Structure 1
Amino acid sequence: MPQALIDWIFRGSLVAQITAGLIAGGLLAWLWPDAAHSVSLLGTLFISALKAVAPVLVLLLVTAATCNHQPGRATLIRPVLWLYLLGTLSAAIVGVLASMLFPSTLQLKDAVQSQAAPGRISEVMLSLLQSAFDNPVHALLQANYIGILVWAVAMGMALRHASPATRGLMQDLGQGITAVIQAVIRLAPLGIFGLVAGTFAQSGLEKLLDYAQLLAVLVGCMLAVALIVNPLIVWTQTRRNPYPLVLTCLRESAVTAFFTRSSAANIPVNLALAKRLGLDEDTYSVSIPLGATINMEGAAITISVLALAAAHTLGIAVDLPTAFLLCVVSAVCACGASGVAGGSLLLIPLACSLFGISNDVAMQVVGVGFVIGVIQDSAETALNSSTDVLFTAAACEAAKRRAQA
Structure 2
Amino acid sequence: MRIAATLMLVAMAVLFFGSRPFLEAHPAVGYLHAFAEAAMVGGLADWFAVTALFRHPLGLPIPHTAIIPENKDRIADTMAQFLRENFLTPAVVARRMQAMNVAGAAGEFLSQPQSGAGTRIGEGAAELMAGVLEALDPERLGGQVRAGLKTQLARLEIAPLLGQMLEAAIADKRHLPLIDGFVRWAGLTLEDNEQMVRDMIHARANALLRFTGLDERLANSVLDGLYKLLAEVLVDKDHPLRNKIEEGLESIARDLQHDPATREKVERMKRELLENPAVADWWQGVWERLRLGLIDLARRPDDLMGGQIGEMVRELGLALSGDPRMQRQVNRFARRTAVGVTSRYGGQIVRLVSETVRRWDARTITDRVENAVGRDLQFIRINGTLVGGLVGMTLHLIDRLVWG
Specify if TM > 0.5.
no
Greater share of residues in helix:
2
Q: Larger radius of gyration, structure 1 or 2?
A: 2
| TM-score (normalizing by structure 1) | 0.19
